[in-house]
């Protein structure tokens, strides 16, 4: 049943009307599609199931021929007059490229159904080097040539030519047609468009006319032929000849199709039923240009690489500049810096911009703002901080601290937060920190600070502490007063930095433990005992700082036997021995100092660092002692026989676990001290 339907469809589709009038050689046929047609094909030629004649499929250097099965009786006798005939056919040429095709196809009238020894490419599978032009070929060909072959004096790479025994056309014309107004319309043979060709021989006039038109303009033959040649075919063709097609490819993949064909002797060719022509196969997306074929893969690869790297860049950029911003932070808006700005300000936190590393993290120099005129120099401190707990309180404090204004404070400008990281932005202090002048003078190439400068710095730091303790709207405890947190501005004023930062480590810890943060040697005994920072614990640290800047020694030093020596104890010993206090003064001052001031500072240092809180002065009093408006109470060395360390040990603090946080990570206290960077130590008491 299915079979029967198929055959019926084939019959319908083919619509071949073949009339063979055996008597006078009256041949007439018409094919709209070739399904079931009795064509003789060779080479690469084939008829597809839906009736499309494919002369050459897409491959290089192919040949293909197709002939009507029986020969035509062109004349009644050898050398006799060749009768008029007319052929019409619809073809299409499909190249893999938009701008090239090769080589072409031809309608032929030849003595045999085939061309043995013919060459592909420019020879169009018709002739070869030897027989080209030989009259014994008895060949008429109408070529549709898509390549310009100079051997055959081709006019261009898109022409229609009339060939007699020779591929050098007797007449040819660029492809096109004359429209109703007689205007020549150019056509491109390999445009993939189906076009119709009429080949007509007028036996009486001895003239061949070839006409071309795209089928989109209808089925009417244009009135004016494209190419004509006067040629008496009686002297060319054999009395019995075959009609058909030939096609060849060359170096390019081109497909040559014939969709329909009609033929008649002594009359016009029957009209081809355009509506019933087989469909051309889909060409795929778009014809490719040969140039594009080479450029496109490279361009595509480049584009993929570009898009890929762009995406990667965007992702990296996103990761690079990723921040943590929570809703509660919006109220701190003006104090919030974008990480991107900080990243660019510090050239991506380059080590070149590293100012130093302290107990909490690295500090980088940065320049905010793009235009030179409004740029601000800043110091950006990167603190790694995993805990989110207490972050809100801490940021709130940072922001409130940011509102502190005093000429002896290193201004906190704002902050930025990322995953596991907090960035604090401070005013940049061009002369760095005081410890550099005291301990790393040689490496840092810093001058010796004379006594006047030191005394000026001391007074500055004291007034800053007084400000944060008593003069501001609420009490701020610095918690980490020490030489490395005293920064020097361009006028060598002492500026207290880093305030409040120790709070960060107070938050979010186990309430069962007391976590003290500060720096060894600056920690008041009661701070170690109770873990509570107060104004007086700051005063204790300030006392240690006074001794430090005057003696040019660290509050805790290591002697040759690796025993810890407290600076307080050492100064105290000299105080007891009459007249030897001057021996504690920094030798780099070379004895050039105001003795009264130096002794005042040393004694004040001891007083501030007194183990008993009730003996320590407050910052208001400290200021009065320093400016001489109040005389220092007479210090009894015997009052101070308990040094901070002794007190600690007496109270059994040696049994407490000690851990050190330093820039070098955790290590023993001894190494942290001898390395010159006094780490921040935490005493963690097991929940009492
Ligand atoms: N605002 C600033 N301007 C210039 N340099 C700074 C600033 N803040 C810190 N520094 C430099 O960075 C170093 C490390 O700072 P910091 O982490 O505060 O040290 P520490 O933890 O020892 O107090 C300091 O010694 C100082 O040289
Ligand atoms: C034509 O050539 C192509 C490629 O070589 C091949 O796949 C196809 O089978 C050939 N067709 C015929 C009818 O020879
Ligand atoms: C096709 O043509 C050949 C040659 O003329 C002939 O021998 C053959 O019988 C024909 N086949 C059909 C199916 O018409
Ligand atoms: C033409 O072809 C014939 C037959 O193949 C051959 O004998 C003759 O020599 C050829 N002529 C030329 C000029 O090559
Ligand atoms: C048509 O083709 C001819 C020859 O190839 C060319 O000189 C002419 O400019 C073309 N005309 C148009 C309108 O493209
Ligand atoms: C062509 O040649 C044949 C035979 O030589 C002759 O009979 C005929 O008249 C010629 N036709 C023309 C138009 O010259």
Q: Give 624-678 pLDDT, tens digit per residue.
A: 999 999 998 877 655 555 454 445 444 434 333 233 333 333 322 322 222 233 3
Structure tokens at 343: 């990243």
State how beta strands 514-515 and 518-519 pair: unpaired
pLDDT of residue 517: 62
pLDDT per residue over 578-594, tens digit each? 778 889 999 999 999 99
Distance 132 CA to ligand 4 centre (A): 10
- Find all residues with CB under 8 Å of 639, minimum gap 6, and list them: 610, 615
Confidence band, pLDDT 50/70/90 cuts, at residue 497: confident
Confidence band, pLDDT 50/70/90 cuts, at residue 4: very low
Kindly state the helix (H) or strand (E) to which residue 29 belongs, with its residue range: strand 26-32
CB 613 within 8 A of CB 538: no
Distance 176 CA to ligand 5 centre (A): 9
pLDDT of residue 667: 28
pLDDT of residue 207: 93
Percent of the chain with pLDDT strictly greater than 90: 30
Structure tokens at 629: 């408006």
pLDDT of residue 533: 85
Q: Which of 154, 480, 498, 586 is catalytic?
A: 480
Pocket test for ligand 6, best of 78, 84, 201, 234 (most atoms within 8 A of CB): 234
Asked whether residue 509 carries a pLDDT value surpassing 60, the answer given is: no
480 is catalytic: yes
pLDDT of residue 501: 63
Distance 244 CA to ligand 4 centre (A): 24
- Find all residues with CB under 8 Å of 152, minimum gap 6, and list them: 122, 166, 167, 168, 169
101 against 142, higher pLDDT: 142
Half-sphere exposure for 534 (CA within 13 Å, toward CB): 14
Distance of alpha carbon 573 from alpha carbon 567, whole angstroms: 10
Range of weakest confidence among 155-169, 314-328, 431-445:
314-328
Per the omega criterion (within 30 degrees of 0), is the bond before 103 cis?
Answer: yes
558 against 565, higher pLDDT: 565
Distance 129 CA to ligand 4 centre (A): 12
Structure tokens at 14: 């083919």
Asked whether residue 229 carries a pLDDT value surpassing 80, the answer given is: yes
pLDDT per residue over 511-560, tens digit each? 444 455 667 778 888 888 887 888 999 999 999 999 999 999 988 876 66
pLDDT of residue 153: 87
Distance 204 CA to ligand 6 centre (A): 8
**What DSSP character marks residue 419?**
T
Ligand nearest to C-alpha 57: 2
What is the end-to-end Cα distance of the chain in Å, rounded?
100
Q: Which residue minimizes the CA distance to atom 7 of ligand 4?
A: 136
Sketch out the chain's domains with CATH numbers. 2-276 (2.60.120.200), 292-321 (no CATH), 432-686 (1.10.510.10)
Distance 489 CA to ligand 1 centre (A): 12
Burial of 555 (0-12, 13-18, 19+ CB in 10 A): buried
Asked whether residue 390 carries a pLDDT value surpassing 90, the answer given is: no
Q: Which residue minimizes the CA distance to atom 5 of ligand 5?
A: 174
Pocket test for ligand 4, best of 115, 136, 137 (most atoms within 8 A of CB): 136
Pocket test for ligand 3, best of 40, 69, 70, 71 (most atoms within 8 A of CB): 69
Percent of the chain with pLDDT strictly greater than 70: 79
Atom of ligand 3 nearest to the CA of 38: 1
Please report, in range form, the residues annotated as the binding site for ATP. 381
567 against 12, higher pLDDT: 567
Ligand 2: residues with CB < 6 A are 44, 46, 57, 59, 62
Ligand nearest to C-alpha 179: 5
Structure tokens at 117: 């020894």
User: Does ligand 1 come within 6 angstroms of the Cβ of 358?
Assistant: yes
Q: Which residue minimizes the CA distance to atom 6 of ligand 4?
A: 136
**The Cα angle at residue 16 between residues 14 and 19, in degrees rounded to 5:** 165
pLDDT of residue 643: 53
Range of weakest confidence among 77-81, 103-107, 361-365, 390-394:
390-394
Confidence band, pLDDT 50/70/90 cuts, at residue 254: confident
Atom of ligand 6 nearest to the CA of 205: 13
Confidence band, pLDDT 50/70/90 cuts, at residue 86: very high
Which of 90, 93, 95, 47 shows the shortest CA–CA distance to 67? 47
pLDDT of residue 576: 82
Task: Indicate whether this model's pTM tops 0.85.
Answer: no
Q: Which residue minimizes the CA distance to atom 10 of ligand 5?
A: 186
Distance of alpha carbon 520 from alpha carbon 682, whole angstroms: 9
pLDDT of residue 199: 95
Length of the chain: 688
pLDDT of residue 559: 63
Q: Which residue minimizes the CA distance to atom 17 of ligand 1?
A: 358
Q: Which residue minimizes the CA distance to atom 1 of ligand 5?
A: 186
User: Does ligand 4 come within 6 angstroms of the Cβ of 134?
Assistant: yes
């Amino acid at each position: 049943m299915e079979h029967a339907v198929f055959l019926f469809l084939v019959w319908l589709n083919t619509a071949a009307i073949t009339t063979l009038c055996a008597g006078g050689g009256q041949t007439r046929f018409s094919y709209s599609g070739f399904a079931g047609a009795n064509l003789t094909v060779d080479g690469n030629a084939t008829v597809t199931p839906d009736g499309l004649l494919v002369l050459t499929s897409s491959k290089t250097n192919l040949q293909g021929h197709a002939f009507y099965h029986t020969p035509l009786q062109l004349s009644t006798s050898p050398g006799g007059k060749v009768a008029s005939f007319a052929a019409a056919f619809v073809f299409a040429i499909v190249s893999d490229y938009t701008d090239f095709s090769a080589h072409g196809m031809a309608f032929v009238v030849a003595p045999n159904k085939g061309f043995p020894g013919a060459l592909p490419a420019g020879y169009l599978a018709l002739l070869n080097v030897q027989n080209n032009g030989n009259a014994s070929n008895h060949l008429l060909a109408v070529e549709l040539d898509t390549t310009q072959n100079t051997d055959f004096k081709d006019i261009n790479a898109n022409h229609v030519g009339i060939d007699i025994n020779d591929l050098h056309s007797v007449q040819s014309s660029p492809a096109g047609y004359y429209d109703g107004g007689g205007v020549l319309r150019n056509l491109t043979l390999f445009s993939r468009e189906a076009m119709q060709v009429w080949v007509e021989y007028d036996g009486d006039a001895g003239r061949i006319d070839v006409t071309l038109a795209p089928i989109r303009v209808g089925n009417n033959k244009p009135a004016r032929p494209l190419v004509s040649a006067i040629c008496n075919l009686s002297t060319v063709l054999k009395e019995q000849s075959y009609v058909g097609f030939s096609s060849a490819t060359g170096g390019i993949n081109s497909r040559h199709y014939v969709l329909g064909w009609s033929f008649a002797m002594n009359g016009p060719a029957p009209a081809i039923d355009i509506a019933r022509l087989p469909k051309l196969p889909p060409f795929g997306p778009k014809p490719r240009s040969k140039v594009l074929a080479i450029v496109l893969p490279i361009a595509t690869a480049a584009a993929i690489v570009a898009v890929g790297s762009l995406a990667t860049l965007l992702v990296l950029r996103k990761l690079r500049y990723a921040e943590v911003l929570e809703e509660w932070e919006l109220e701190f808006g003006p104090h919030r810096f974008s990480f991107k700005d900080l990243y660019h300000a510090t050239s991506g936190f380059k080590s070149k911009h590293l100012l130093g590393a302290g107990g909490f993290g690295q500090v980088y120099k940065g320049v905010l703002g793009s235009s030179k005129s409004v740029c601000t120099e800043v110091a950006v401190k990167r603190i790694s901080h995993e805990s989110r707990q207490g972050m809100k309180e801490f940021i709130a404090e940072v922001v409130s601290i940011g509102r502190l204004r005093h000429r002896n404070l290193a201004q906190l400008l704002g902050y930025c937060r990322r995953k596991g990281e907090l960035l604090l932005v401070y005013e940049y202090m061009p002369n760095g920190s005081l410890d550099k002048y005291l301990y790393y003078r040689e490496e840092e190439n810093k001058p010796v600070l004379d006594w006047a400068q030191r005394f000026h710095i001391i007074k500055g730091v004291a007034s800053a502490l007084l400000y944060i303790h008593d003069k501001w709207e609420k009490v701020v405890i610095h918690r980490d007063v020490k030489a490395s947190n005293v920064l020097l501005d361009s006028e060598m004023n002492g500026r207290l930095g880093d305030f409040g930062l120790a709070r960060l480590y107070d938050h979010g810890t186990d309430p069962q433990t007391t976590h003290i943060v500060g720096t060894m040697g600056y920690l008041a005994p009661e701070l170690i005992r109770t873990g509570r920072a107060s104004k007086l614990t700051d005063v204790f640290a300030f006392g240690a700082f006074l001794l430090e800047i005057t003696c040019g020694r660290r509050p805790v030093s290591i002697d040759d036997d690796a025993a810890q020596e407290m600076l307080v104890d050492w100064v105290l010993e000299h105080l007891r021995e009459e007249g030897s206090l001057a021996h504690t003064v920094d030798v780099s001052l070379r004895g050039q100092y105001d003795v009264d001031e130096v002794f005042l500072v040393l004694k004040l240092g001891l007083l501030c660092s007194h183990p008993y809180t009730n003996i320590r002065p407050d910052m208001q009093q400290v200021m009065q002692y320093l400016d001489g408006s109040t005389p220092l109470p007479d210090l009894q060395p015997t009052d101070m026989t308990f040094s901070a360390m002794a007190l600690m040990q007496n109270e059994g603090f040696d049994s407490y676990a000690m851990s050190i946080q330093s820039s070098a990570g955790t290590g023993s206290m001894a190494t942290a001290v001898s390395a010159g960077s006094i780490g921040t130590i935490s005493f963690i008491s097991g929940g009492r």
